[in-house]
Amino acid sequence: MANNRIEREQTTREKTVRKKGWQRPEVLPSPTLEDGYTFKWIRVSTQGHVDATNVSSKLREGWEPVRAEDHPEITMVTVENERFKDNVVIGGLMLCKAPKELTQERNDYYEQQTAAQIVSVDNSLMRENDPRMPLFNERKTKVTFGKGS
């Protein structure tokens, strides 16, 4: 028999795991998820200029700033704006959260707006339609089975 074999107890998965390659770090770290909340990075400043209009509109929309003490896993390098010193602000973006119901209502609203615009464009297109030369307005797909041509 072969006496030069390695015993099974000496080989483990940890010893044979392939070394991980370098990966580019995340620009914005992901917070630990909380049940019932959606997170979003909101622009606080651009090129050193405070964007108060954007911040106030997002706060009125229902987004609330995340406090730095609530998410210690996100390390903050600098405090860029004295107004938001207790919040998570990185690179001119502030981490905010909102209830999932609110974000779903917002998405539904914009889906309805999009559908209304599509109907409006279709009505405008069909107004120009002439039976002698009909316009194509197909939004349906058709699946057929059987022999090819």
pLDDT reading at 130 higher than 80: no
3-class DSSP state for residue 49? strand
If one compares 82 and 97, the residue with the highest pLDDT of the two is 97
The predicted model scores a pTM of 0.62
**Which secondary structure element, helix H or strand E, spans residue 84, and what is its range?**
none
Residue 53 pLDDT? 93
CA separation (Å) from 117 to 39, 105, 107, 128? 29, 19, 15, 17
- pLDDT level of residue 111 (50, 70, 90 thresholds): very high
Q: Is 123 left (phi over 0), alpha (psi -120 to 50) or beta?
A: alpha
Contact call for residues 135 and 129 (beta carbons, < 8 A): yes
pLDDT, tens digit, 9 for 90 and up, residues 27-81:
788 888 889 999 999 999 888 888 889 999 999 999 999 988 888 888 665 555 5
| Sequence spans of domains, the chain | 32-99
- Pick the residue with more confidence: 134 or 143? 143
CB atoms within 10 A of CB 91: 14
Kindly state the DSSP code that residue 124 receives in the 8-state scheme. H
Helix/strand/coil percentages in the chain, nearest 5: 35, 15, 50
Mean pLDDT of the chain: 81
